[in-house]
A and B are shown apart, each in its own frame.
Chain A
Amino acid sequence: MEKPLLSVQNLTLNIPVGGGTLRAVRGIDFDLKRGETLCIVGESGSGKSLTSLALMGLLGKNIQRTADRMEFDGTDLLHAGAGTMRSLRGARMSMIFQEPMTSLNPAYTIGDQLTEALLLHKSVGREAARARAVELLEKVGITGAANRLGQYPHQLSGGLRQRVMIAMALMCEPELIIADEPTTALDVTIQAQILRLLYDLGREMNMAMILITHDLGVVARVADKVAVMYAGELVETGPARDVFNTPSHPYTRGLLRCIPQPGKTERGSTLGTIPGIVPSLIGDVEGCAFRTRCPYAEDACRAAIPLREDGTHAFRCIHPDGKRHAEEEALA
C-alpha cells in the first residue's frame, strides 16, 4: 500500500468571535496520494478555503488550528516551524488563488514574480530561472513568452494572469498543488483549457492536486476523489464516480438537483432548491448541521451522526442509505 503524500485527520479550525467561537471546520479527514486529484466542493462559508489555507500554514493568527494528524510526505505540518513551512511552500507545495486580478503584485514584472520562488528555493542562476519561466509560460499556452517576462500584470487579461499564476505555482515542480477556485473568474472556453492544462500537467509531473470549487461540472470532470463539505464538515466523500452516480447524502443530491443539466433537466422546468440557510456555526454544533434544511430530518438527527462507509465511499447520515433509494423510487 502506497503511503499517502498528504494525510489529514480530525482537522479543526476555531475562530474566536464576539459572541463565542466560530467552528469553521469541524474535524475533517482526508488522504491524498501522488498524482491524485481531490476536489472539495461546497458553498460559500462551508470552510473549504480555510481548509486549504490551514494546510499551507497561511491562516490568520486569530484562527486556532488543531488536528490529530497533518502530515505531508513525512513532515508534521502541525508542529512545523516557520522556517520549515517556508521551505515547503512554493517549493514542494504551492497554491493557485482564486483572483488572478489581485493575487499578482502590480509593482513587479511577470518575470520577477515567476522566478522569485525558484531563486529562493533552488540554487539556480537568474538566466536559468528565466529560461524555466519561459518554458512554463509556453507550457501554459502563452504566446511570445520571452517578451511577457518584462510585462506587468495590468498588461495581461484575466485568462493570461490566471495562466501566469499556474506557471508560477509550477516553477519548482511541486508535489502538491492546492488550487482554490482557479477558473471561477474565467470564460467557459478558457476554463476548459485551464482545467485540461492542470489535468495534463498533473499527470505528467505526477502531482497531487486539491481543487476547491463550487462547480459540480468541474468536479465531475477532473476529480479522482470528491469531498462534499457542508458547514465545516465533510458530509460525503468517495471516488468521483460513486459520489456522482450514487449520491448518498441528501445535501449532495440537493446540490445536483439545483443545477440545470443539459440533456437531463427539462428546459424551462422548475429547478430543485435547498430551502433554508446555512446554520450559524458559533458555539457548539450538535448532530447533523444539515437537518434544518433536510426533507428527511428526524429527532435522531440532533444526536451523533454515524459515518456510513461502503469501501471508499462514505457519508454521514442517520438513514442507512441517506434515503437515496426512497427518493429514486419516488422519482421513478
Chain B
Amino acid sequence: MTSQQSPAILELRGVTKTYNVKQGLFGTARPLKAVNDVSLSLPRGEVLGLVGESGCGKSTLAKILLGLEAPTSGQVLVDGEEIKAQDRMTLARRIQPIFQDPYSSLNPRKSIFDIVSLPLRVHGIGDHSHWDAEVRKILDIVGLPARVMNTFPNQMSGGQRQRVAIARALIMKPEIVICDEPTSALDVSVQSQILNLLGDLRREFGLTYLFISHDLAVVEHLATRVAVMYLGRIVEEADVAGLFDEAAHPYTQALLKSVLTPEPGLGVPDTQLGMAYPNPIDPPSGCHFHPRCPFATDLCKTRPPRPVGTSVGHVECHLHDPDGPMFDRRAA
C-alpha cells in the first residue's frame, strides 16, 4: 500500500481468516471474518503497535503470524518468503511470542531453567553445558540473577515471570517478537521496567516487534508505526507521530480521546462512540464503523470505503478519499 524505504521483514498481503460460527445448538454455521483482507508491511527493526477493541481480530492476526492459525486466504511473508512454505520449527526460530499473563503462560511444574532452555532442547541445539551457558546469558540480559534457574514460577513476582517469558522468547535469537499485551497484567512500576527492557533489547539485537496493546499511551511510547484495527480490518495505519498527532480516521480519533492522561481537572472524556461494539458475525453494511461514527452519511451505510494512501500510511474512510464525494467535508 505504501512504499517502505527499507525491505519489509514481515509482510501481509490480503490476509483473511474466516471462522464458521454456530449460534445455538442447532443453528447453522455462519462465516465470521475475524481478519478481513489485511495488508501490512513491517520493516526490520520497527515496532508496529496494533490497537483496537476486544473482538477486533488483533489476537487472531497474532496467531496467524505465529503460524498457529492458517489464513483462509492471502499470504504472510517473512523476509520475502511465504510462511506456509516454511515448517513450524524454522518459523519458530524466526518468530516468538510473549503473552499477556505471565501467571498462566509459564508451566508451574517446570523450573526456570527448564522453561527457558526448552526451545534449545526442542530444536536439538547443543548439549547440557551449552544450555546452561545460554540460559545464564539470556537471564543476565533480561535482568534476572542466575540463581533463579532452579526456582519455580510460583516463587517469582509478576515482573520476574514476564522477564522469564521474554528470556524464553529470545533464547533462539528470533528476528520478530509478537508481544500480545505484555504489560497489561503488571503493576505500573513493573510495567515501566518491562517496557524499558523491551526497548533496550530491540536496540541491542535489532528486533522487530508486533506490539498488541489496548493501552494507547504505552503504544505511543514504544511503537514506531501504528495500525488501528476495527472489525477485522486495518482502518488506519501510520507512523507514530502521524497517527498520534494527526489521526485521520474518526475511530482513531475516538480511541485517542478515550486515553485518560493523569491530568486532574479534565474530567472523563466523551468519546461519542455510543455504547455497543458491533457483533462481528453481523458486521454493519458499508463502512463497518458507520453506526458509531459522528460523520456518517448515507454513502457510508452502503459503500465500504477503499484504502487511501496518505503521506505516512493509509486510511479507510470516505472522508479521506480524494475521488469520493465526502472529501470536502474532511476538515469538519
Contact = CB atoms under 8 A, between A and B. Distances in A.
Contacts of B258: 188-189, 191-192
B260 A218 contact: yes
Contacts of A18: none
Contacts of B255: 188-189
Q: Closest 8 interchain pairs by CB?
A: A217-B260, A260-B221, A258-B192, A271-B192, A43-B187, A192-B258, A274-B189, A220-B262
10 contacts: A188-B53, A189-B258, A191-B260, A196-B270, A199-B268, A214-B187, A216-B188, A240-B264, A258-B188, A258-B192
Interface of B: 53-55, 157-158, 187-189, 191-193, 195-196, 199, 214-218, 220-222, 224, 240-241, 244, 254-255, 257-271, 273, 275-277
A296 B53 CA distance: 42
Given A193-B273, A270-B199, 18 more contacts: A158-B54, A188-B216, A190-B53, A191-B258, A191-B260, A196-B268, A196-B269, A199-B267, A219-B262, A220-B262, A223-B264, A243-B264, A258-B191, A260-B218, A262-B220, A267-B240, A271-B192, A277-B157
Contacts of A188: 53, 214-216, 255, 258-259
Contacts of B193: 273
A327 interface: no
A269 to B, nearest CB: 8
Given A196-B268, A245-B264, A268-B221, A255 B259 contact: no
A195 B276 CA distance: 16
Interface string A192-223: 11011001000000000000001111111111
Contact of B268 (A158, A221, A259): A221
A187 interface: yes
A156 to B, nearest CB: 11
B181 to A, nearest CB: 12
B196 A187 contact: no
Interface residues of A, number: 53
A217 B262 contact: yes
A272 interface: yes
Nearest to A142: B275
B91 to A, nearest CB: 29
A277 B261 CA distance: 26
Contacts of B244: 262
Contacts of B267: 199, 221-222
B199 to A, nearest CB: 7
A265 interface: yes
Contacts of B273: 189, 193
Nearest to A218: B260
B164 to A, nearest CB: 16
A182 to B, nearest CB: 13
B189 A273 contact: yes
A75 interface: no
A256 interface: yes
Contacts of A216: 188, 262
A221 to B, nearest CB: 5
A261 interface: yes
A316 to B, nearest CB: 19
A249 B9 CA distance: 46
Interface in A244-261: 244-245, 254-261
Contacts of A158: 54
A132 interface: no
A220 B263 contact: yes
A255 B191 CA distance: 11
Contacts of B268: 192, 195-196, 199, 221-222
A52 to B, nearest CB: 18
A311 interface: no
B102 to A, nearest CB: 13
A289 to B, nearest CB: 14
B222 to A, nearest CB: 7
A130 B222 CA distance: 48
